């Protein structure tokens, strides 16, 4: 079988879509919890789909075991938009249509993050989005506006459709960052995930190649932001990914890795915490799909977003066959009403194949 045949691309893309969604669903039951609370609640580490407790976002919205949230649902809607637009035809207007379509989908839109919530409201009301968070009568927006992980959590399809073409993946990622996550921090974070996913799509990639691609993407994302968006005060995404990698490589135990990742990198909705944590836990788990989302779902706080991003990369690298098929069967039975992942994977595979031929 050829390394870049459509069947290989399909196996990798379905693996990415599935593992991202499974990470989202697994992490939905631990979101907002600390590591100590997770261990106390389940008498150890959570390792299966369960009904989210009432004091999580998913639980407060009557979520059921295995159901996805905003993270992977936006990823799937973006995928459908890319397919509808055709090869290399996706525009920012197409992305805004995707975002507004998603904003009317229940129950997923009930999970809107702080940045997406404000931007969707502005778009629906016809207000300019660049007035959100303005300081007084100036044109400056507060530096915390547009710096959350919403762009990173949904961006993996930008890498899936550009296998091994990191620059193109990042430029597509940029389109999906505007207007909601129009800062160097969010764009660098999204490009790190897109580039890592793009690299993971190559059959001969190593985990180190994927890590280095995430660094390249973060640095290129900074460059793109200087040209097309806002640069705000905040940490370097590439530097924080390096820190997360160092933690993963020196960790002597699972719990030790989680606690040091939380303590030094962070695990919140902030892009400069969630994206590096996702890369770090991917490295600690050696890129194994279930092990990766298991680690991310037990690191605490924004577990579903972290698991979605890391899961998308791991699934693309190892492929669908590396996922536990019984767990996927359950996951699919819960989520197939709104999203046919096999059909989405077929459409994305066609785009990926065209990109290799371009």
Helix pair 184-200, 303-318: axis angle to 10 deg: 30
Mean pLDDT along residues 123-141: 77
First-to-final CA distance of the chain? 21
pLDDT given for residue 129 in this prediction: 77
In this predicted structure, which of 121-135, 175-189, 234-248, 298-312 has the lowest mean pLDDT? 121-135
pLDDT given for residue 1 in this prediction: 38
Backbone dihedral region of 164: left (phi > 0), alpha (psi from -120 to 50 degrees) or beta?
left
- Sequence ranges of the domains in the chain: 6-127+145-357
Q: Are 347 and 83 in contact (CB under 8 A)?
A: yes
Q: Are 319 and 11 in contact (CB under 8 A)?
A: yes
- 183: three-class secondary structure by DSSP: strand
In tens, the pLDDT along 209-224 reads: 999 999 999 999 999 9
With helix as H, strand as E and coil as C, how does 276-327 read? HHHHHHHHHCCCCHHHHHHHHHCCCCCHHHHHHHHHHHHHHHHCHHHCCHHH
Measured distance CA(67)–CA(276) in Å, rounded: 25
User: Is residue 247 packed enough to be buried (19+ CB in 10 Å), middle (13-18) or exposed (0-12)?
Assistant: buried
Mean pLDDT computed over every residue of the chain: 94
Cα three-residue angle 179-183-184, rounded to 5 degrees: 140
pLDDT given for residue 17 in this prediction: 98
Question: The pTM is what?
Answer: 0.96
User: Is residue 191 packed enough to be buried (19+ CB in 10 Å), middle (13-18) or exposed (0-12)?
Assistant: buried
In tens, the pLDDT along 138-190 reads: 778 777 778 999 999 999 999 999 999 999 999 999 999 998 899 999 999 99
In tens, the pLDDT along 22-66 reads: 999 999 999 999 999 999 999 999 999 999 999 999 999 999 999
Q: Are 327 and 290 in contact (CB under 8 A)?
A: yes
In tens, the pLDDT along 315-347 reads: 999 999 999 999 999 999 999 999 999 999 999
DSSP letter for each residue of 229-295 = SB--S---HHHHHHHHHHHHHH-SSHHHHHHHIIIII--SSBHHHHHHHHHHHHHHTTT-HHHHHHH
Measured distance CA(102)–CA(54) in Å, rounded: 24
In tens, the pLDDT along 3-17 reads: 668 899 999 999 999
Measured distance CA(333)–CA(325) in Å, rounded: 12
pLDDT given for residue 2 in this prediction: 58
Beta carbons within 8 Å of 250's beta carbon, 6+ residues apart: none
Pick the CATH number of 6-127+145-357 from 1.10.3720.10, 3.30.230.10, 1.10.4080.10, 3.30.230.80: 1.10.4080.10
Q: Which two tokens stand for residue 292?
A: 């990766």
C-alpha radius of gyration, the chain, whole number: 18
């Amino acid at each position: 079988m050829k390394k870049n045949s459509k069947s290989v691309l399909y196996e990798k893309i379905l693996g990415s879509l599935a593992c991202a969604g499974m990470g989202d669903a697994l992490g939905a039951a631990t979101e907002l919890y600390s590591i100590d609370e997770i261990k106390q609640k389940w008498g150890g580490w959570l390792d299966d789909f369960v009904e989210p407790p009432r004091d999580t976002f998913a639980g407060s919205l009557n979520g059921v075991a295995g159901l996805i949230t905003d993270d992977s649902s936006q990823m799937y809607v973006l995928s459908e938009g890319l397919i509808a637009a055709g090869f290399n035809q996706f525009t920012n207007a197409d992305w805004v249509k995707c975002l507004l379509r998603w904003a009317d989908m229940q129950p997923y839109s009930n999970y809107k993050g702080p940045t997406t919530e404000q931007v969707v409201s502005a778009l629906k009301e016809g207000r300019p989005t660049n007035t959100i968070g303005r300081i007084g009568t100036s044109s400056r927006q507060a530096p915390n506006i547009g710096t959350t992980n919403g762009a990173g959590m949904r961006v993996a399809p930008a890498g899936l459709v550009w296998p091994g073409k990191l620059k193109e993946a990042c430029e597509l990622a940029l389109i999906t960052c505007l207007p909601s996550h129009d800062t160097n921090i969010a764009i660098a974070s999204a490009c790190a995930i897109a580039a890592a996913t793009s690299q993971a799509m190559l059959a001969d990639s190593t985990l180190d190649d994927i890590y280095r691609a995430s660094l390249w993407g973060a640095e290129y994302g900074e460059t793109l932001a200087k040209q097309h968006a806002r640069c705000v005060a905040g940490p370097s995404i590439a530097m924080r990914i390096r820190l997360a990698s160092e933690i993963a490589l020196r960790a002597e135990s699972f719990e030790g890795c989680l606690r040091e990742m939380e303590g030094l990198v962070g695990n919140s909705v902030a892009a400069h915490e969630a994206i590096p944590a996702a890369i770090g836990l991917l490295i600690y788990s050696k890129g194994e799909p279930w092990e990766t989302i298991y680690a991310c779902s037990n690191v605490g706080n924004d577990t579903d977003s972290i698991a979605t991003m890391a899961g998308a990369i791991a699934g693309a690298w190892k492929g669908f066959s590396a996922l536990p098929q019984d767990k996927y069967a359950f996951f699919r039975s819960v989520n197939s009403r709104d999203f046919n992942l096999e059909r989405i994977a077929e459409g994305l595979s066609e785009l990926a194949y065209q990109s290799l031929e371009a």
